[in-house]
Amino acid sequence: MEMPKPNPDVIARKARVVARLLSVLPVDAVIHDERETRAYECDALTAYRCPPMVAVLPSTTGEVSDVLRICHSEGVPVVPRGSGTSLAGGALPTADCVILGVARMNDVIETDYDNRLIRVQTGRTNLSVTGAVEADGFFYAPDPSSQLACAIAGNIAMNSGGAHCLKYGVTTNNLLGVTMVMMDGEVVEIGGGHMDAGGLDLLGLVCGSEGQLGVVTEATLRILPKPEGARPVLMGFDDNEVAGACVSDIIKAGVLPVAIEFMDRPCIEATEAFAKAGYPMCEALLIVEVEGSDAEIDHQLSLIMEIARRHNPVELRESKSADESAKIWLGRKSAFGAMGQINDYMCLDGTIPVSSLPMVLRRIGEMSQEFGLKVGNVFHAGDGNMHPLILFDANKPGDLERCEAFGAEILKLCVEVGGCLTGEHGVGIEKRDLMYEQYSADDLEVQMAVKDVFDPAWLLNPAKVFPLDASERRRATGLAAE
Amino acid sequence: MMVADEQELAACVADAAEPLSVRGGDTRGMAGTGAPLSVAGLSGITLYEPGALTMVVQAGTPVTEVEAALASENQRLAFEPVDHRGLLGGTGTPTVGGIFAANISGPRRIAVGAARDFLLGARFVDGRGGVVKNGGRVMKNVTGYDLVKLMAGSFGTLGVMSELSFKVLPQVETQASLALHGLEVDQAVVAMSRAMGSPFEVSGAAHDPAAGQTILRVEGFEASVAYRVAQLKATLKALAGEMTVLTAADSGAFWSTQRDVAAFRGTDGDVWRVSCKPSDAPALVRRAGSAAYVMDWAGGLIWLRMAQGSDLRARLGMFDGHATIVRADSETKARFGVFHPQTPGVARLSAGLRARFDPKGLFNPGLMAPCG
């Protein structure tokens, strides 16, 4: 993965930039010692690392505004950072950049149960948003698997999803308003406590823009009443295709489960060895969870199991208690860890139409042979959001490159069958150069024109999302017309 | 002008030198001034995968055609689009493109999201006559910027949509509603809030002061609906006086009149639509001093009927939300602007986007913001 060469003029001005940042921030909020900036050299895409020139940790929207105004006037690129859990390299620095971390901004500003919303500073972690309201019977729905660590800022930047999207949607469906600081330091309020924009839907545009349009410092999020209960059923099949058909039949039947998770044999074997969840050894395993009162759950699960029986499952295990539910989820929740025990892995998140599931899994299996790398699949089947985990050895020369090439082929296949490159992780640097697979140069030009409006000088997270050759002119010159 | 396909549409826009009044079925009278450009000729369902809950259609496809196809698979447009024809006296055929371009959502919006939340992908022609695609036909997609959301609710001012893909949901087995009688507006909003904050999945919450009714809808499997109505009744016992249950047919009939604002059909005066924080709603209706109002979205949406030419925004003053003119003569619309004025920062960004997407100022100029 190539990154643009750092601008030597910017690096030469480091002392002045640091001095100016120190004039608006406390001394412990400006990190410029080379030993300390290393802490910000990567996010969860650890294969790529580069310490930033400076990292700053502002505590208020005002401080963020001061930082951006200074960086804007100095022509310094800024890479916003939530908790650094991006799997796509969304927060990967360049050597000439200022990392703007929102980790110190984690207050709850307002909880409003009457209107079912919470307003937080965006450095707050996803799970602690729910933590702030759960004692009162509410929760924040989007639940990316990194939810213990990931920040709302990053969730908004990447439009994060999670396992329960089938029912509750992703970040953009649960975001009501933001306070956003523009690259020139201007503070803009978009949306609020009400529903739907009065004019153009800028909120929908900002969500998922990967920190390239502005730095979101506060967010108003929709919170929901917790369901009375939830219980899963586990089903095993001896054929991926049959499992895929079962998913489709469940959806068509009018039951809307809150989650439908899928694991294939390599993943089942790995998690069994690691977590001993008592999963059946079979080709495909589904975990289908429904919500409601006990009687409502019983009814929905009986409908789902009736559908499953028509597909001759090798195992059908209905949870009757919290303990049994935990056991069913245990393997799924430890799947990533289990694969990590075997080797390094790369996790992709291409999304496909559910109808293509069997064909795509078959092709991934064939490609695994061709590339000589093992792959396990564990994913959100209800919405077609795949998670192939490709195993490789980071210490073996050439393995990472082979893994990336394999990953690229899988993502191309996802696009070919009518899907997309990324369903919830974002493009970052990881999928940046594959964007032409999904979009034409003209399609990308229109997207880049949006950035021209919000960040004419192209200083915010500039080397992400768009293929480097597509954004080169803009990054080099800023927008000359301004 | 009537175009038959995307290519003709693109050519038509590329050749245009004068403003275009972009429309679907022109059922809402929302199109701007200029030479009429209708996408009604771009019609037909391109793809429907019931097992994947997705449909792709040409922008001019009639909503009724989509609803019929969905009904045959026991599915539906869950965001419950409003049919404005009765309210506005319109006669055209509502199109899918119009529904999404205006982000038209009905009562179920509070439970499942707005039209914009269901839109998965769009193809559109920009102001240079170029064809642009964004999003796709899968439910989770964060590949590049989300121009799909931007196009939804842009009222044709950024581009002319030619093809749309969207998410659909299963039809429910049955529904019922709980009617609370005789609540004052403040109590009604508290009751609706209590219902929405309960785990009983209320999919509609409306208050009609003229009828003295506050209505809550639940939908799902028969046993489930009965159970949740009973639970809601118990939850609201302390707040409400008399409560009655509307069975499926009555509940269905009520929500279709509520959805289409039938209360204001054939009446005099202007109709405004206010989006606000539900708890602000009682104070806002008092400030409005309207001739009549109906609340939806648990108070988050207020339909107000005002004396002709009233400046509702001046009466409401500053609040968290916006007020849009839905029905008024052109003079009133021109005087106040159909859309709520925006803060300078948001207005500047919106104007910047319009200048990029539509550099010649062709599409419904002046509709969403003053020209120039």
A220: CATH: 3.30.465.10
Q: Are residues A367 and A311 in the same domain?
A: no
Q: Are residues B164 and B62 in the same domain?
A: yes
Q: Are residues B158 and B197 in the same domain?
A: no
Q: What is the pLDDT of residue B370?
A: 66
Tokens 């648990």 belong to which residue? B298
> Residue A378 maps to which CATH number?
3.30.70.2740
Q: Are residues A274 and A377 in the same domain?
A: no
Q: What is the pLDDT of residue B28?
A: 81
A169: left (phi over 0), alpha (psi -120 to 50) or beta: left
Q: Indicate the burial class of B321 (C-beta count within 10 angstroms; 0-12, 13-18, 19 or more).
A: buried
Q: Please state whether the predicted TM-score (pTM) of the whole model is above 0.95.
A: yes
Query: Does residue B46 belong to any structural domain of this protein?
Result: yes
Helix, strand, coil share (%) of chain B residues, nearest 5: 35, 25, 40
Q: Are residues A88 and A27 in the same domain?
A: yes
Contact B143 A427 (CB under 8 A): yes
Q: Are residues A275 and A355 in the same domain?
A: no
Q: Which of A196, A200, A228 is the closest to B353 by Cβ?
A: A200
- Distance linking the first and last C-alpha atoms of chain A: 31
pLDDT in tens, chain A (482 residues): 889 999 999 999 999 999 999 999 999 999 999 999 999 999 999 999 999 999 999 999 999 999 999 999 999 999 999 999 999 999 999 999 999 999 999 999 999 999 999 999 999 999 999 999 999 999 999 999 899 999 999 999 999 998 888 899 999 999 999 999 999 999 999 999 999 988 999 999 999 999 999 999 999 999 999 999 999 999 999 998 899 899 989 988 888 899 999 999 999 999 999 889 899 999 999 999 999 999 999 999 999 999 999 999 999 999 999 999 999 999 888 888 888 888 899 999 999 998 888 899 999 999 999 999 999 998 888 889 999 999 999 999 999 999 999 999 999 999 999 999 999 999 999 999 999 999 999 999 999 999 999 999 999 999 999 999 999 999 987 643 33
> Residue A324 maps to which CATH number?
3.30.70.2190
Q: Are residues B100 and B56 in the same domain?
A: yes
B344 touches A at CB < 8 Å: no
B26 touches A at CB < 8 Å: no
Q: pLDDT higher for A96 or B26?
A: A96
Q: Strand B213-220 vs strand B174-181: parallel, antiparallel, or unpaired?
A: antiparallel
CA distance B334 to B340: 12
What is the number of other CB atoms lying within 10 angstroms of the CB of residue B15?
8
Q: What is the pLDDT of residue B203?
A: 98
Nearest chain A residue to B297 by CA: give it: A195
> Residue A13 maps to which CATH number?
3.30.43.10
Which chain B residues in 247-306 lie under 8 Å from chain A, judged by CB atoms?
275-279, 297, 300-301
Q: How many domains does chain A have?
A: 5
Domain boundary among A273, A306, A335: A335
Q: Are residues A249 and A357 in the same domain?
A: no
Query: Does residue B248 belong to any structural domain of this protein?
Result: yes
Q: Is the per-residue pLDDT at B26 higher than 90? A: no
Q: What is the pLDDT of residue A482?
A: 38
Q: Are residues A218 and A268 in the same domain?
A: no
Give the neighbor-by-neighbor strand order of the sheet with B213-220.
Answer: B243-246, B174-181, B213-220, B202-208, B292-296, B301-306, B270-276, B321-327
> Residue B276 maps to which CATH number?
3.30.70
Q: Are residues A275 and A358 in the same domain?
A: no
Radius of gyration of chain A (CA): 23
Question: Of the candidates B218, B221, B265, which has an alpha carbon nearest to the alpha carbon of residue B245?
Answer: B218
Q: Are residues A117 and A221 in the same domain?
A: yes
Contact B147 A205 (CB under 8 A): yes
What residue numbers bound the domain in which A455 lies? Answer: 440-477
Helix (H) or strand (E) run with residue B301 in it: strand B301-306
What residue numbers bound the domain in which B52 lies? Answer: 6-170
A313 touches B at CB < 8 Å: no
Q: What is the pLDDT of residue A339?
A: 87
Q: Indicate the burial class of A86 (C-beta count within 10 angstroms; 0-12, 13-18, 19 or more).
A: buried
What token pair was written down for A403? 């893994």
Task: Say which DSSP state B73 is in.
Answer: T
Question: Of the candidates B69, B153, B83, B73, which has an alpha carbon nearest to the alpha carbon of residue B118?
Answer: B153
Q: Are residues A257 and A173 in the same domain?
A: no
Q: Are residues B251 and B332 in the same domain?
A: no
CA distance A238 to B169: 29
Contact A453 B352 (CB under 8 A): yes
Domain boundary among B218, B236, B259: B259
For B115-131, write each residue's pLDDT tens digit: 999 999 999 999 999 99
- DSSP track, B2-60: B-SSHHHHHHHHHH--S-EEEESS--SS---SSEEEE-TTS--EEEEEGGGTEEEEETT
Q: Are residues B292 and B158 in the same domain?
A: no
CA distance A339 to chain B (A): 24
Give the residue from B117, B140, B325 with the most A CB atoms within 10 Å of its CB, the best one to mutate: B140
- Residues A290, A295, A300, A306, Cα dihedral to 10°: 130
CA distance B367 to chain A (A): 10
Q: How confident is the model at residue B90 (pLDDT cuts 50, 70, 90)?
A: confident
What token pair was written down for B39? 């996408």
Q: Are residues B166 and B253 in the same domain?
A: no
Query: Does residue B344 belong to any structural domain of this protein?
Result: no
Q: Is the per-residue pLDDT at B84 higher than 80? A: yes
Query: Does residue B359 belong to any structural domain of this protein?
Result: no
Helix, strand, coil share (%) of chain A residues, nearest 5: 40, 20, 40
Give the residue from B142, B322, B367 with the most A CB atoms within 10 Å of its CB, the best one to mutate: B142
Query: Does residue A482 belong to any structural domain of this protein?
Result: no
Nearest chain B residue to A161 by CA: give it: B140
Question: Of the candidates B220, B194, B307, B211, which has an alpha carbon nearest to the alpha carbon of residue B258?
Answer: B211
Domain boundary among B232, B259, B286: B259
User: Is this complex scored with an ipTM above 0.95?
Assistant: yes
**Helix B344-357 / helix A441-454 crossing angle, nearest 10 deg:** 150
Chain A residues within an 8 Å CB radius of B275: 194-196, 198
Q: Are residues A59 and A162 in the same domain?
A: no
Query: Does residue B209 belong to any structural domain of this protein?
Result: yes
B346 touches A at CB < 8 Å: yes
> Residue B228 maps to which CATH number?
3.30.70.100
Tokens 């059923």 belong to which residue? A233
CA distance B146 to B99: 19
Q: What is the pLDDT of residue A185?
A: 98
Q: Are residues A178 and A114 in the same domain?
A: yes
Q: Are residues B221 and B297 in the same domain?
A: no
Nearest chain A residue to B228 by CA: give it: A293
Q: Are residues B62 and B133 in the same domain?
A: yes
CA distance A415 to B318: 47
Q: Are residues B80 and B26 in the same domain?
A: yes
- The partner residues of A388 in beta bridges, in order of sequence, read A377
Query: Does residue B242 belong to any structural domain of this protein?
Result: yes
Q: Judge contact between B217 and B204, C-beta under 8 A.
A: yes
Task: Say which DSSP state B279 is in.
Answer: G
Q: Cα separations (Å) of A293 from A296, A299, A324, B173, B228?
A: 5, 10, 17, 18, 9
Calculate mean pLDDT across residues B211-231.
97
Q: Cα separations (Å) of B206 from A402, B107, B133, B226?
A: 58, 8, 38, 20
Chain B residues within an 8 Å CB radius of A203: 149
Contact B223 A299 (CB under 8 A): yes
Query: Does residue B81 belong to any structural domain of this protein?
Result: yes
What token pair was written down for A231? 């219980």
Average pLDDT, chain B: 95
Q: Are residues B104 and B199 in the same domain?
A: no
What token pair was written down for A373? 């790398």
- What lies within 8 Å, CB to CB, of A14 at 6+ separation is A32, A53, A54
Q: Are residues B20 and B114 in the same domain?
A: yes
What token pair was written down for A480? 């000359």
Query: Does residue A275 belong to any structural domain of this protein?
Result: yes
Query: Does residue A209 belong to any structural domain of this protein?
Result: yes
Question: Of the candidates A135, A214, A208, which has an alpha carbon nearest to the alpha carbon of residue A174?
Answer: A208
CA distance A269 to B256: 52
> Residue B75 maps to which CATH number?
3.30.465.10
C-alpha B260 chain-centroid distance: 10
Q: Which of B130, B140, B193 is the closest to A424 by Cβ?
A: B140
Q: Are residues B145 and B26 in the same domain?
A: yes
What is the number of other CB atoms lying within 10 angstroms of the CB of residue B311?
11
Chain B residues within an 8 Å CB radius of A87: none
Q: Judge contact between A173 and A424, C-beta under 8 A.
A: no
Task: Say which DSSP state A355 is in.
Answer: G
For B166-203, write each residue's pLDDT tens digit: 999 999 999 999 999 999 999 999 999 999 999 999 99
For A250-282, give one letter per residue: b (16+ CB within 10 A) or e: bbbebbbbbbbbbbbbbbbbbbbebbebebbeb
Q: Are residues A148 and A204 in the same domain?
A: yes
Nearest chain A residue to B296 by CA: give it: A195
Query: Does residue A161 belong to any structural domain of this protein?
Result: yes
Which chain A residues in 88-117 lie under 8 Å from chain B, judged by CB atoms?
112-116
What token pair was written down for A40? 């910000």
Query: Does residue A2 belong to any structural domain of this protein?
Result: no
Q: How many domains does chain B have?
A: 3
B48 touches A at CB < 8 Å: no
What is the number of other CB atoms lying within 10 angstroms of the CB of residue B106?
25
Q: How confident is the model at residue B31 (pLDDT cuts 50, 70, 90)?
A: confident
Question: Of the candidates B231, B112, B247, B126, which has an alpha carbon nearest to the alpha carbon of residue B179?
Answer: B247
Domain boundary among B211, B232, B259: B259
